A and B are shown apart, each in its own frame.
Chain A
Amino acid sequence: MELDWEYAFSILPTLLKGLKTALYATVVGFVIACVAGLVLALLVRVRVKVVKWVTNAFIEFVRSTPLLIQLFFLYFGLNKYFQLSAFTVGAVALGIHYSTYLAEVYRSGIDNVEKGQWEASRALNFSKGRTWTSIILPQAIPPILPIMGNYLIVVFKETPLLAGITVLEMLTRSKNILSRDWKPFEPYTMVGLIFLVLSLTMAIVFELMERRMNRRFTK
């Protein structure tokens, strides 16, 4: 089995278009996951039992069902009524799915802030909202940034699932190329290599960021 490198490079521009879509979906999905994850983490802490219960049930439900099924359900089922693009549905689904994981990450960050910080905030008469924005979150988030970075890579690696709902990312484009040229090895090898290079690059960047932050944020 010989890889035809010349052919492989000839299909690269098409694959890179798919990569652009995949990266775009990753960024949009991850931003949604970060925001929604924080909202979930805060809702779990609400004193009203019903809110807490519903939030926990939602988190459990989303985590316990496969992302691919969620994508199908949202796109082929629910989207009948919304008529959103496949890309939008895909990015939102990625975002919601991973928000439930990020909620847990936020929770660990928040729990690691010392009790005394809450008490000092109360003693200085900060409002609840101000306590979160000025005191708690600025301490809770820096330590969890590396874990959040890992989830960004995970989300990126999950983008091929969007092929299932016709988003023109790398896998869909490989399949299209395949049905045109009937050469299976080159497109999938190239896609694999692209994932490898980008995931590794991101991992290294986050590692460096973490080291820099550890130096800056020593208590």
Chain B
Amino acid sequence: MSTTVQEREPHAVSGGETALPIVKYNDVKKSFGDLEVLHGINLEMRPGEKIAIIGPSGSGKTTLGRMLMTLEEPTSGTIEVDGELLWHMERGGKLVRASEAHLHRMRTKIGMVFQHFNLFPHMKVIRNVTEAPRKVLGLSKEEAHERAVEMLRKVGLEDKLDVYPSKLSGGQKQRVAIARALVMRPKVMVFDEVTSALDPELVGEVLEVIKEIALEGEMAMMLITHEMDFAREVADRVIFGADGLIVEEGPPSELFENPESERLQSFLRRMN
């Protein structure tokens, strides 16, 4: 990898505008034991861009998002976030694994919503959302509370502040999880199959909330999803991955209406 922060110039990205990408994967590979699940991913996201990542299960979609959230370390290749290497630092002209302090600093730009919500069961809803702003960002109790209530209002749960997560429906839990991630004001957020664990009748309320957030614009979003209609509606660009590679990408209209590759054609047939 010769890509370093100093060398890299701002460059043109799809859409013709010139902007520093908020996220950039450079030939990223990932293996679990002997099994390589990602075979060299190159991918860029512009600030505020909404991308949907679709593809069959086992294609490595989730791993892609988890590496961005620093939950999985790439086996090789680099990821840049906001112009800085995520998993690496330069030391003596060589790339070395980033320190915990570096990762900590980088993580302030990244957020994630999980398939299984992962709410803190021992905390009421409000504290689920205020805990990180207080303990990580160092906000005062009042500030954190104010921000948290604002986010919970945004996801339509301002009447559930003093309830434990166990008393909420799956859809409500996921909306709290979204508020909890949003309150940290990341520049890019990973939504990892956030509706896959929900009963079908609860999917809509969660997607609705995500659509609203998408419309606000500033935050880049990586939507790893099986909901094709949702991807079509929200995403600026759709990435189709299979077998650890990006097979096809483009604006949703193109990708869904005129899929080029045989893989995508058969995938879309199966999804419909």
Q: Do A and B come from one complex?
A: yes
- Which residue numbers of A lie inside 8 Å of B, CB to CB? 114, 116-117, 119-120, 122-128, 130, 134-135, 138-139, 142, 217-219
Partner of B132, one of A117, A126, A139, A142: A126
**Count of B residues near A, CB < 8 Å?**
27
Contacts of A138 in B (CB 8 A): 122
B136 touches A117 (CB 8 A): no
Question: Chain A binding site: helix, strand, loop or mixed by DSSP?
Answer: helix
Query: Shortest beta-carbon distance, B61 to chain A, in Å?
Result: 16
Residue of A nearest to B109 (CB): A125
B71 at interface by CB-CB < 8 Å:
yes
Q: Which of B130-185 contact A (CB under 8 A)?
A: 131-132, 135-136, 166, 177, 180-181, 184
Contacts of A218 in B (CB 8 A): 166
B166 touches A123 (CB 8 A): no
The answer to whether residues A134 and B112 also contact, given A117-B118, A124-B184, A139-B121 and a CB cut-off of 8 A, is no
Bound together, the chains give a CA A114 to CA B131 distance in angstroms of 19
Partner of A127, one of B69, B104, B122, B180: B104
Contacts of A120 in B (CB 8 A): 114, 118-120, 177
Contacts of B118 in A (CB 8 A): 114, 116-117, 119-120
Q: List 17 A-B contacts (CB under 8 A).
A: A116-B117, A119-B71, A119-B114, A120-B114, A120-B120, A122-B71, A122-B107, A123-B71, A123-B181, A124-B132, A124-B136, A124-B180, A125-B107, A128-B100, A139-B121, A142-B122, A217-B122
Query: Shortest beta-carbon distance, A145 to chain B, in Å?
Result: 14
A125 touches B108 (CB 8 A): yes
- Which residue numbers of B lie inside 8 Å of A, CB to CB? 69-71, 100, 104, 107-108, 110-112, 114, 116-122, 131-132, 135-136, 166, 177, 180-181, 184
Question: Which of B116, B117, B120, B166 lies at the interface centre, i.e. has the most chain A CB atoms within 10 A of its CB?
Answer: B120
Query: Shortest beta-carbon distance, A102 to chain B, in Å?
Result: 21
Contacts of B181 in A (CB 8 A): 123-124
Query: Shortest beta-carbon distance, B196 to chain A, in Å?
Result: 14
Bound together, the chains give a CA A116 to CA B131 distance in angstroms of 17
Contacts of A122 in B (CB 8 A): 69-71, 107
Contacts of A119 in B (CB 8 A): 69, 71, 114, 118
B112 touches A123 (CB 8 A): yes
Contacts of B131 in A (CB 8 A): 124, 134
